[in-house]
Structure 1
Amino acid sequence: MNSARLTKRRLALRLKPPAPRNPLVAPALKRKAGAHRKTAKSERQAGRQALRQALKQVP
């Protein structure tokens, strides 16, 4: 019985380790690296401000 138990342990599934991760990707994603453009929030805010300015100038 002991030998049967040892045999089962030795037949454990062995998987290849995953490819190593690029250490530069995670910090870049956290910084939102990429194309330099304004956020959607700032675009909405700028649109609201432009609308207010335009409405002030209309008599």
Structure 2
Amino acid sequence: MGCAREAVTTLTYDYGDQMAALGPLGAGNDPHAHDLCAIHTERMSVPQGWTVIRHATLV
């Protein structure tokens, strides 16, 4: 919310499954999705015991 840098990824999460996913920028209005800049993408962390899925972009 407070970062002025350009967003490069979208973070989505599911509390029930204790899972977070980082991927390409999303276009939807998902209340569980947050766009992150490159710095916040690298610094992102989740609670202990959660799974993080990082989707690689194919070029």
Query: What range describes the TM-score normalised by the shorter chain of this pair?
Result: under 0.3
Larger radius of gyration: 1
TM-score normalized with structure 1 length:
0.20
TM-score normalized with structure 2 length:
0.20
Using CA pairs below 8 Å that are at least 6 residues apart, which structure has the higher relative contact order? 2
Higher-helix-fraction structure: 1
